[in-house]
Amino acid sequence: MPRPIIGIISNHHVINDEYCVQAAGLINIAAVADVAGGLPLLVPAEPDKVHLSDLLEHCAGFVFTGGRANVHPEEYGEEETPAHGAFDRKRDAVTLPLIRALVERGQPFLGICRGFQEVNVAMGGSLYPEIRDLPGRDNHRMPPDGTLEEKFALRHDVTFTKDGVFHRLMGRQSVPTNTLHGQGIKAPGPRVVVDGHAPDGTPEAIYIDGAPGFSLSVQWHPEWNAQADPVSRPLFDAFGAACRDWADGKRARPMLKTA
């Protein structure tokens, strides 16, 4: 049986200050191919080049990756400020309607970092422009120096709701994760369930209430060392199983049920 096609949302980059490309990290591609068991397909964040109907028809599921550009605050009804950083309005135009369509159809998706934030915004939630500026919050940004291994090192625990979706998936209520983000959830969307928090209260794990299919998202980067990491692997395993079910007869695989 052929592997299910899994779309990986890419990001805009400029090589040598002049050559524009759409790219996704190899660690995202490896996690999809080697752990989720899918055929990775890079989806350019170019709304005039890709059509929602084509994406929904040809891909069994999607990974909404991290990225340096942030969701534009106009998407959640706020004014742009310098604290909001750089934006990618083209990616917003691709991902936000795609997420809403996936939720409605029960088609699987996994949100990571910016993707986690996109899911919240797509479902009517809002974001803080800079978590580290909030009273009592930690600095969740990527360390400025060090090797990639040091930047993606485990830096804090995430504690899940007892007997919730993530607790049941991981088999334990608290897990160690990396952290490489500046923004974070301010107000969850009406159907967004925050199922895990960092020690400082920052939301780190969400799913969509009532979604008929796999709709998990995390604020950390599980694609790093996904094949060996005991937290990342079950997440991509479950996502891959949901994608295979969707490809085999277009059936939605419900998330793990809470008690």
221 part of the active site = yes
Active-site annotation holds for 58: no
CA distance 253 to 238: 10
Which residue in this structure is represented by tokens 């005039």?
Answer: 48
Q: Which of 118, 204, 223, 243 is catalytic?
A: 223
Give the active site residue among 84, 140, 167, 221. Answer: 221
- Of 113, 118, 140, 181, the active-site residue reads 113
Give the side-chain half-sphere CA count within 13 A for 5. 11
CA distance 111 to 89: 18
Residue 113: active-site member: yes
CA distances from 187 to 74, 132, 155, 194 (A): 15, 17, 24, 10
In this structure, the dihedral spanned by the alpha carbons of residues 119, 67, 237 and 150, taken in order and rounded to 10 degrees, is: -130
Residues annotated as catalytic are 113, 221, 223
